[in-house]
Amino acid sequence: MEFKAVAGWRRSVRFFEPWREVEREKIQAIMEAVHRAPRVLEVDFVRTVVVYRDQLKDHELTAMKMPTTTAQVDMAPVYVFFYADLEALPRAATGDNFRELMARGVLNRSHGWTESFLEEQVLPYLRGIIDHPDRITMRTRTPDGDIEGPSVSRAHLSLARSAIGIAQEHALLAAFDEGLGAQLSALNTNIANGILGVPNTWTTSSPMLLGYHGESRETGGQRPREPFEEDFFEMRYGHPFYREPAVVDRLTAAEMIQPTAPLPWRKDELRALARKFGLPD
Ligand SMILES: Cc1cc2nc3c(=O)[nH]c(=O)nc-3n(C[C@H](O)[C@H](O)[C@H](O)COP(=O)(O)O)c2cc1C
């Protein structure tokens, strides 16, 4: 699919065909896209765990549900959990990833990249993030109380979480490009982490539910946003980025910009979906 159409057709899909498995090759294509996401400070933060719903026990599935993620957990056949390994930053602080990029002609003298620049400026900057005194203790909530994990600086955690966000977005776009539907959705990650056995040095965010659309690709239309002019600026805050109508027309033709929800038939679709999947109407 062309990029603009992928961006336009991506929606949070909340109805999946529960019976239709996702081909492993499509899941791999999504992981390959995540593998190519940009790397903040050359840190290899990102980890994913792919989970097949039907290989979980019923009680595990039930325990993972959250108030904002209910029926879609039962419907989506695959969940992709995203993590950032907090131990990746100390590893990057050895400078080896930077040295590799210098050797491969990616980071060059033209931009100031030399061994002394690395040793005297970049690596101390990384160490400063790791050692910053504004720290929090990682905690895992269990039925028997909280288990304390490592202490990390807020700046470290914020970098790690930004890496997860970029991974999530690459995964979402790749999923739609593969003709699948997907949604980032909260699951009880404390429960999930226990089931998946991930180390307590991995931090996480919302997993991606993945499957074939159980609702139409339109999903009732693109979801509303604040007016463009309220959020995008040129040169200074308060000076809206001028939205050229001809560009809007071009992006509409390319399917990036599509009608906003609700399409006229959405209520009928929702009634039919509720009947089809045995859900409340
Ligand atoms: C990190 C993240 C977590 C989300 N968690 C949930 C969730 O728990 N339940 C849900 O229904 N939607 C969740 N969403 C989806 C948003 O509600 C959705 O993106 C938003 O309404 C815009 O709609 P769209 O994605 O269809 O454009 C989440 C989105 C993000 C980025």
Cα of 11 from ligand 1 centre, angstroms: 9
251 part of a folded domain: no
Q: What lines the ligand 1 site, CB under 6 Å?
A: 11-12, 68-69, 183-186, 205-206, 223
255 part of a folded domain: no
The total of structural domains in the chain comes to: 1
Tokens coding 135: 């720290």
With a cut of 90, say whether residue 233 has pLDDT above it: yes
User: Each residue of 88-123: b (16+ CB within 10 Å) or e?
Assistant: bbeebbebebbeeebeeeebeeeeebeeebbeeebb
pTM above 0.85, yes or no: yes
Cα of 208 from ligand 1 centre, angstroms: 10
13 part of a folded domain: yes
The reported pLDDT for the residue numbered 140 is: 81
Q: How far apart are CA 141 and CA 186, in angstroms?
A: 16
11 part of a folded domain: yes
Cα of 14 from ligand 1 centre, angstroms: 10
With a cut of 90, say whether residue 148 has pLDDT above it: no
- Whether residue 263 contacts residue 218, with contact meaning beta carbons closer than 8 Å, is answered with yes
36 part of a folded domain: yes
Whose C-alpha lies nearest to ligand 1, atom 11? 68
pLDDT digits (tens, 9 = 90+) for 41-60: 999 999 999 999 999 999 99
With a cut of 80, say whether residue 142 has pLDDT above it: no
Q: Cite the beta strand spans of the chain per DSSP E.
A: 46-52, 78-85, 135-142, 145-153, 181-184, 202-204, 208-211
Domain containing 30 equals 3-214
Could you tell me the CATH number of the domain that includes residue 194? 3.40.109.10
Q: How far apart are CA 14 and CA 74, in angstroms?
A: 11
